[in-house]
Amino acid sequence: MIALSDIHAGMSVVGSDGQPVGRVRAVEGATRLLLEDTKTDGDTHYLPTSHIVKITDQVHLDCSGATARALFDQDLPAGENTT
C-alpha cells in the first residue's frame, strides 16, 4: 500500500523506464500529484496518484516518463486550473 504522506514537495517523479517526469509541488487529497514538469515546459501539471507504485527517495510510476507526461492534466475537473 502506498502512503501518500511519504511524498514531500521537491521529490523527483520518475517513470517505469527511469525517465524523469518532474518534481512534486504538492499532493492534493488522495487523487493527484501537482508537479513541475522539469523536462519540457516547466509548468505545473497534475498526475493521478493511481500511477504511483513505489515511494523511495523518488516517486516511482507504473508507466514510462513519456506516457506520464501524456497523462498530465487529463480529466481536469471543470473550472479547475493548475497553472
Residue 43 CB neighbours (<10 A): 13
Contact 28, 7 (CB under 8 A): no
Domains of the chain: 4-71 (2.30.30.240)
83 band by pLDDT with thresholds 50, 70 and 90: very low
pLDDT digits (tens, 9 = 90+) for 29-79: 888 899 987 766 778 899 999 999 999 999 999 999 999 999 888 755 544
82 band by pLDDT with thresholds 50, 70 and 90: very low
Q: Which residues pair with 23 in a beta bridge?
A: 12, 36
Those residues whose C-beta lies under 8 Å from the C-beta of residue 74, and which sit 6 or more positions away, are: none
The whole model's pTM is what? Answer: 0.83
